[in-house]
Structure 1
Amino acid sequence: MKTKNIIASLFFLGSIAVSAQKYDIKTAKTYAEISAKTDGKWEGRKYKGGTVFKNVDRLKLAPEHTDHSFDIRYEGPGWESNRIGYRLYLDWRNAIDIFGKKTSEMILPKVGQDNFDSYHEMSDWGADILKAGKAIGIGSIDRYLDNEKLHFREVDSTIATVVNKSTQSGVKIDYYGWKTASDKIDFTSELTIKPDQLYTQHTIKASKEIKGICTGIAKQKNTELFKKDSKNKKWAYIATYGEQSLVPDKLGMAIFYQKGTIENNVETDLDYLLVFKPTTKATTFYLLGAWEQEVNGIKSKEEFVKYLDEKLEILNKKGKM
């Protein structure tokens, strides 16, 4: 399926948007979007008024934007397969959250339309099932330095771009002038999801070698932690499983990573962190959630570990998924 980019740009209230691609969502098995209001106005850090959220392919954050500004539907870009959905808080938190799906249909266009955060309540399609809070969420990026996560509190500008193709959908985030401690860098995250899959491929790239760039999994109560290396010792996973969803019910979360890219593993009160070695080369890892209420979903620890081991074997043989 070919997508058609519409070149016309819309300029509004400190943000820049490019109108959304044409994409047959009724037959799609993946989908990505970002949706913002354009006809309200800023009052301090809150966006007031506005009658409708408009999907765009490219969005530059307004300088006023922060958490709970109400200008972006469900607070950032979202991407999904026919099995699971994700979203990224496009603000200082920069955390990835999980939408549990009870249907194979694409659900993101309806999420948060009736009320800003109605997706926290269970509906026919599912719900937001992960409480990120001050934790890293699942497979998000942060910086861990001197026993502290430094977040994305100071960024000169942030641009989100979404792409939908027949073979995959994805989100690219360009952070320009991300300042933490005494360092200021540009940083890119590319998040891609494929049909019939739970996992998201996350490729990151920094403009400068700095210590402490990290990803990880939010630590929740009532969970077990799993770790395993591939046979060739090049890949590994960390994972948690248990009654850790907001429902509450069973949810598994995992990250597959290249062992040679990791400087150290850190466990904090909030997170299980993987701290990357300083590099300016692109680094790819995989994040995923597995919810028991998914259609034909993974419903036990044993099924989850079996699934993880199968994916690890693919990485062992092919070096990619």
Structure 2
Amino acid sequence: MKNIKLILGVFLLSSLVTLAQKSQNNKKTYAEISVKEGGKWEGRKYIGGTFKNVQKLKLAPEHTDHSFDIRYEGPGWESNKIGYRLYLDWRNAIDIFGKKTDAIVLPQVGQDGFDSYHEMSDWGSDILKAGKGIGIGSIDRYLNNERLHFYEVDSTLAKVENKSKSSAVKINYYGWKTAGEKIDFTSQLTIASDQRHTQHTIKASKAISGICTGIVKQKNTEVFKKVSQNKRWAYLATYGKQSLVPDQLGMAIFYEVSTIESEVNAEFDHLLVFKPSNQTVSFYFLGVWEQEKDGIKNKEAFIKYLDEKLIELNKKGKI
């Protein structure tokens, strides 16, 4: 009898593990943040150690760009269509991982070298050069013809959440100081199954001018703009041979017209400057890469896709 119970127990455990593996394999979204443990700080560089995924992270005071303590420099999130990452430092830019597969890939990105993801692999690669720009859909502050970065922040807390049909990254910036003004700021980035777009929900503790988002300027691109039939929603988009490959990449931001104070053709970016507010504001951003599995491969298909999303926003107020 004991042997039968043992066999049944082993079988049950094996079945549960198999079901868990199948569930993970069937997931279409994922978010993570991976930090090094077991090493040490030498100045502003983290030496040694191995990566471990965590659910939340308080940014080390030593951390800056290229500190080597966070795998691919910040949190990442993906759907079965595309992936994104946020530089969790003064740059605060969002980058794009182009995917040639519909499988979850982020757990393997950057494991074999700090910036190995810049080289094309079976799953894809980093395809956007943010450079001195804002990347796609991230947050900054624009005053007096200058983008003010996240140089001075008292503390930064990042969390990730994975649900059955969506994944999210939430960042809390406490004491973000720019131009003599200090605020707390929250940023939540959510991606859903079978979608390319990320919903970006932001909130400032104080209504200040200049909070902005945008799309980094690249060569060989066209800019497209359109407003929905009900005049509530609009998009700003770019398309062209602007990926790092280089090949065709489209980027777009969908926003509520009433939340925007101005559009700015800045030196490095196409910017959307929000009206001062301490209320929650949501917008959407997305990338479309020609090498994506069953992807959009030309300008005409890209515009058609954007227009369909705009019609959806016009009807439902969300996508």
TM-score normalised by length of structure 2:
0.93
- After TM superposition, which residue ranges in structure 1, 4 or more long, deviate above 4 angstroms? none
1:42 equivalent to 2:49? Answer: no
Task: Tell me the SS of whatever aligns to 1:26.
Answer: helix
Residue number among 288, 292, 295 corresponding to 1:294 in the alignment: 292
Matched ranges for 1:59-74 at <5 A: 59-74=57-72
Instruction: Kindly state the Cα deviation for residue 182 of structure 1 after the two structures are TM-superposed.
Output: 1.1
Task: Tell me the SS of whatever aligns to 1:100.
Answer: strand
Matched ranges for 1:60-139 at <5 A: 60-139=58-137
Q: Is the 8 A contact 1:218 1:272 kept in 2?
A: yes
Residue type of the alignment partner of 2:130: A
Instruction: Kindly state the Cα deviation for residue 270 of structure 1 after the two structures are TM-superposed.
Output: 0.6
Residue number among 157, 160, 165 corresponding to 2:155 in the alignment: 157
Matched ranges for 1:176-195 at <5 A: 176-195=174-193
Q: Is the 8 A contact 1:25 1:31 kept in 2?
A: no
Task: Tell me the SS of whatever aligns to 2:89.
Answer: coil
CA distance in 2, matches of 1:119, 1:296: 22
Q: Is the 8 A contact 2:45 2:67 kept in 1?
A: yes
Matched ranges for 1:49-64 at <5 A: 49-50=48-49, 52-64=50-62
Q: Is the 8 A contact 2:37 2:52 kept in 1?
A: yes
Instruction: Kindly state the Cα deviation for residue 25 of structure 1 after the two structures are TM-superposed.
Output: 3.1
Per the alignment, residue 5 of structure 1 pairs with: none
CA distance in 1, matches of 2:205, 2:164: 31
Residue type of the alignment partner of 2:28: K
Per the alignment, residue 280 of structure 2 pairs with: 282
Task: Tell me the SS of whatever aligns to 2:25.
Answer: coil
Per the alignment, residue 141 of structure 1 pairs with: 139
Per the alignment, residue 14 of structure 1 pairs with: none
Q: Is the 8 A contact 2:214 2:269 kept in 1?
A: yes
RMSD over aligned CA atoms reads 0.9
Instruction: Kindly state the Cα deviation for residue 112 of structure 1 after the two structures are TM-superposed.
Output: 0.1
Instruction: Kindly state the Cα deviation for residue 167 of structure 1 after the two structures are TM-superposed.
Output: 1.6
Residue type of the alignment partner of 1:78: G
1:33 equivalent to 2:32? Answer: yes
Instruction: Kindly state the Cα deviation for residue 26 of structure 1 after the two structures are TM-superposed.
Output: 1.4
Instruction: Kindly state the Cα deviation for residue 268 of structure 1 after the two structures are TM-superposed.
Output: 1.2
Per the alignment, residue 3 of structure 1 pairs with: none
Residue type of the alignment partner of 2:87: Y
Per the alignment, residue 214 of structure 1 pairs with: 212
* % identical equivalent positions: 75
Instruction: Kindly state the Cα deviation for residue 79 of structure 1 after the two structures are TM-superposed.
Output: 0.2
Q: Is the 8 A contact 2:27 2:165 kept in 1?
A: no
CA distance in 1, matches of 2:109, 2:280: 32
Moved more, 296-305 or 23-32: 23-32
CA distance in 1, matches of 2:51, 2:65: 17
Per the alignment, residue 11 of structure 2 pairs with: none
Q: Is the 8 A contact 1:81 1:195 kept in 2?
A: yes
CA distance in 2, matches of 1:233, 1:149: 28
CA distance in 1, matches of 2:24, 2:258: 39
Residue type of the alignment partner of 1:63: P
Q: Is the 8 A contact 2:40 2:47 kept in 1?
A: yes
Q: Is the 8 A contact 1:45 1:64 kept in 2?
A: yes
Q: Is the 8 A contact 1:37 1:71 kept in 2?
A: yes
Flag structure 1 segments of 5+ consecutive residues without an equivalent.
1-21
1:257 equivalent to 2:250? Answer: no
CA distance in 2, matches of 1:25, 1:41: 33
CA distance in 1, matches of 2:254, 2:197: 9
Q: Is the 8 A contact 1:199 1:286 kept in 2?
A: yes
Residue type of the alignment partner of 1:284: S
Per the alignment, residue 241 of structure 1 pairs with: 239
CA distance in 2, matches of 1:260, 1:234: 7
CA distance in 1, matches of 2:204, 2:37: 31
Instruction: Kindly state the Cα deviation for residue 75 of structure 1 after the two structures are TM-superposed.
Output: 0.1
Per the alignment, residue 15 of structure 2 pairs with: none
Q: Is the 8 A contact 1:25 1:106 kept in 2?
A: no
Flag structure 2 segments of 5+ consecutive residues without an equivalent.
1-19
